[in-house]
Structure 1
Amino acid sequence: MSEIKDVMKAYGLEPLKIEQITDRVYKVSDGSNTYALKESRLTTPAISAWEQVYHHAYAFHLTSILPVYLTSQSGFYTETGSAYYYLTPWVSEDRLTHEQKIINAYETIAAIHAKTSQQTTVDTETIAATFGDYRNNCAQLKPKLLNYVQLFERNHFMSPFELQVCTHYHVLLTVLNEIDYYLDKFIKELEASSNWHNCLCHGHLELSHFLNHGHTYLINWENATFDTPVTDLSHLLRSQTRYYDQSLEQLAELFAAYTELNTLTASQHHLLSIYLLDPFYYISVIEDYLEQPERLSMVKRTQMLESAFRQLTLGLKWNDGKDTYDYEESAEDANS
């Protein structure tokens, strides 16, 4: 722990107790206060963007971004060897229901997105062409999926994985029809307007990055960027589908907590649907099974396939009961 003691000296602190929490996080106490010391994954080119997050936090009064302590030299971090360390308050978490954690997460990131939102113009022709290529690639998956199903059905005894693929087949056809629908709408919207809304995005948003202690704080801003809010939302939602006890209906229903603070435009709504309906990870799991059958256990493969399927199921449920036309009008009115 001598290296950690040296790092803390950069803040003028003498630690009395150091506890390693994870590979990169230490809980440090100096007798008066408790701190969280993080050995970051920051690289030299990324430091400037990470520091900018805290300038934005000050400028936009973003109290949910957990602050970092300044070093004795007024720096946001200290460098030891090839590693960058930064220091924050230690937050002891409240005991909350999973539902309340999701609501807090939606509300917290919505407030950050709303306060930092900026309208800009983009090269819609290039973006539309990129999504047009992606649309063509999605269309080619229907015959590929059918080939997989026919291949597996020829086996006298299908493996659990193969049986899963065959069971999922008709749902995957619906997924491909749905994503084509939203890609069509999104591309047409791009062609009609070059306006685009970017905001401060966390870049690697997961529920574990929200800390609740009377107030909700968001930590680990090392991948921060200015981008469409869909970047954060899709990452958060896809990460939650990995947990089998997470209700997909609940994720969709509780999303109102986000939209009450930051209404998505029609194009953002359609882009989010596209991200959630993206079928290529599901396809890659099947391809890996065929190409490297001995690499993973059958249990692991079925878990991976089911996780990918849950994401696609969320994409389908995301728009259940929504009147798309009414949504578009209300969203565009809110952002006009």
Structure 2
Amino acid sequence: MENIDRILAAYGITPASVHTITSRLSKVQTHQAAFALKRSSLHPERLDRWLMVVQGKHNFYREGVPPVYQTLQENFYVVDEGEVYYLMPWLERHRTDEPDHPYEMLFSTLGKIHASSSKRYPIDYEAYALAIRKQKEKLQQDREELLGLVERFESQTYMGVVPLLVCTHYKDLEHVSAMLDKWYDHYDADLKEDPEMEHSVLHGNLRPSHVQEGSTLHLLNWEKTKLGNPSLDLAAYYKEEWRFADSNVTSPPYYLHSYEEYRQMKKNEESLLMLHLLHPGRYLKQIRQYVNAPQKANTPAVVQELTQTHRQLTQALQVQSYFQDLRNQENQEDEEA
């Protein structure tokens, strides 16, 4: 960032030193404090939503977001050579996505953020039902494609490491697909019974490396913030957590009790969460990339990616079983009543 001095001048800051951390992040040290200067990837259409978050507009729960400093002209960002820059306090944080932070605080903070900006709206059930039917058809096509690939791998005289791994995973992937098909039916029934959805301001890219713990927990990197159902944020975080063998979010109720202290999930949101968690799209994409160019594949990297995605999907199977048991118990209680 050759233009750092010019950008910092807009804040009235003269740096003592500047350290480049990544192509988009610099650590600015003065004699009094340390700052993080970020070259943003914000698109113009996302700028207003990002400003809503950093300014705490519309009752948005601002405590979970680290402060963004204003310039001398009271702007929250600087445009230099066509790019957006903003300045924050320097926060030491994890450089990897391997999990290690207080989960109760994380899910409570996320519940507060989603609740503060939540709005309900009616849906067109018939349009949703049609989309669900199309997704079920696509799922069946994907199941047939995966079975065809496994049969192709098994017919080989010598099976390589990646094909052998895929064949080993196949039974679990088929179970995942069967459960996903069932949760599409649940989602359809839930929407028919309650044709309303909720939208909140979402982080949009929630993962362990974007969680900064301390006396106050902060969620970093709001540049992909968007409006949507809160299940998207929850699913994104769980999926990243479960890629690692040492995840601490593997037992019921998966810290959702901390989340629901501040925002109760509707049944159609629970089923939507299951759809996000059980979807095998990432696994299928990884296999297709390998099959299209096996000679160019980095075998250890492919094995690691498939293993992590498989781990995430098998954990999703446990979660859906927990939610299915809750539904069965509720149905039994209704029948007895």
TM-score (norm 1): 0.89
Name the counterpart of 2:295. Answer: 294
Q: Which amino acid letter does the alignment assign opposite residue 13 of structure 1?
A: I
Name the counterpart of 1:332. Answer: none
Q: For 2:162 and 2:257, locate their aligned partners in 1 and report how far apart those are by CA, in whole Å.
A: 36
Q: Which runs of 5 or more structure 1 residues have no equivalent in the other structure? A: 330-336
Name the counterpart of 1:333. Answer: none
CA change 1:298–1:251 in 2 (3 A) is farther
Name the counterpart of 1:23. Answer: 23
The Cα offsets for residues 289-314 of structure 1, whole Å up to 9 and x where unpaired, read as 22211221221221222122122112
8 Å Cα contact 1:57-1:65 kept in structure 2: no
Q: Secondary structure at the match of 2:213?
A: strand
CA positional deviation for 1:241: 2.8
Q: For 2:167 and 2:92, locate their aligned partners in 1 and report how far apart those are by CA, in whole Å.
A: 46
CA positional deviation for 1:251: 8.5
Name the counterpart of 1:65. Answer: 65
Q: Which runs of 5 or more structure 2 residues have no equivalent in the other structure? A: 332-337
CA change 1:92–1:160 in 2 (3 A) is closer
Matches within 5 A, 1:168-207: 168-207=169-208
CA change 1:34–1:190 in 2 (3 A) is same
Relative to structure 2, which stretch is displaced further, 82-91 or 295-304? 295-304
8 Å Cα contact 1:91-1:213 kept in structure 2: no
Relative to structure 2, which stretch is displaced further, 243-252 or 163-172? 243-252
CA positional deviation for 1:140: 2.3
Matches within 5 A, 1:36-115: 36-56=36-56, 59-92=59-92, 98=99, 100-115=101-116
Matches within 5 A, 1:261-272: 261-272=262-273
- Cα root mean square deviation, aligned: 2.4
CA positional deviation for 1:318: 0.9
Q: For 1:75 and 1:193, locate their aligned partners in 2 and report how far apart those are by CA, in whole Å.
A: 43
Q: Which amino acid letter does the alignment assign opposite residue 326 of structure 2?
A: T
Q: For 2:106 and 2:93, locate their aligned partners in 1 and report how far apart those are by CA, in whole Å.
A: 14
8 Å Cα contact 1:26-1:36 kept in structure 2: yes
CA positional deviation for 1:326: 6.3
8 Å Cα contact 2:58-2:117 kept in structure 1: no
The Cα offsets for residues 171-207 of structure 1, whole Å up to 9 and x where unpaired, read as 1221111001100010122233331111110111111
CA positional deviation for 1:104: 2.9
CA positional deviation for 1:125: 2.5
CA change 1:252–1:155 in 2 (3 A) is farther
Relative to structure 2, which stretch is displaced further, 103-112 or 213-222? 103-112
CA positional deviation for 1:163: 1.3
CA positional deviation for 1:93: 5.2
8 Å Cα contact 1:64-1:108 kept in structure 2: yes
8 Å Cα contact 1:40-1:83 kept in structure 2: yes
Name the counterpart of 2:326. Answer: 324
CA positional deviation for 1:245: 3.2
CA positional deviation for 1:270: 0.8
CA change 1:261–1:100 in 2 (3 A) is farther
Q: Which amino acid letter does the alignment assign opposite residue 224 of structure 2?
A: N
8 Å Cα contact 1:93-1:213 kept in structure 2: no
Name the counterpart of 2:140. Answer: 139
CA change 1:18–1:167 in 2 (3 A) is same
CA change 1:262–1:270 in 2 (3 A) is same
The Cα offsets for residues 254-307 of structure 1, whole Å up to 9 and x where unpaired, read as 343323332211111111111111112212222222221122122122122212
Q: For 1:254 and 1:193, locate their aligned partners in 2 and report how far apart those are by CA, in whole Å.
A: 25
CA positional deviation for 1:216: 0.5
CA change 1:310–1:252 in 2 (3 A) is farther
Q: For 1:100 and 1:50, locate their aligned partners in 2 and report how far apart those are by CA, in whole Å.
A: 25
CA change 1:276–1:228 in 2 (3 A) is same
Matches within 5 A, 1:6-17: 6-17=6-17
Relative to structure 2, which stretch is displaced further, 175-184 or 51-60? 51-60
CA positional deviation for 1:320: 3.4
The Cα offsets for residues 312-332 of structure 1, whole Å up to 9 and x where unpaired, read as 112101133442326878xxx
Name the counterpart of 2:334. Answer: none
Query: How many residues are matched?
Result: 327
Structure 1 runs, 4 residues or longer, greater than 6 Å off: 326-329
The Cα offsets for residues 52-96 of structure 1, whole Å up to 9 and x where unpaired, read as 2123357344211112111111111001102110011122459xx
Q: Which amino acid letter does the alignment assign opposite residue 37 of structure 1?
A: L
TM-score (norm 2): 0.89
Q: Secondary structure at the match of 1:205?
A: coil
Q: Which amino acid letter does the alignment assign opposite residue 16 of structure 1?
A: A
CA change 1:271–1:328 in 2 (3 A) is farther
**Are 2:250 and 1:249 equivalent residues in the alignment?**
yes
CA positional deviation for 1:137: 0.9
Q: For 2:270 and 2:253, locate their aligned partners in 1 and report how far apart those are by CA, in whole Å.
A: 13
Q: For 2:265 and 2:205, locate their aligned partners in 1 and report how far apart those are by CA, in whole Å.
A: 20
CA change 1:326–1:73 in 2 (3 A) is farther
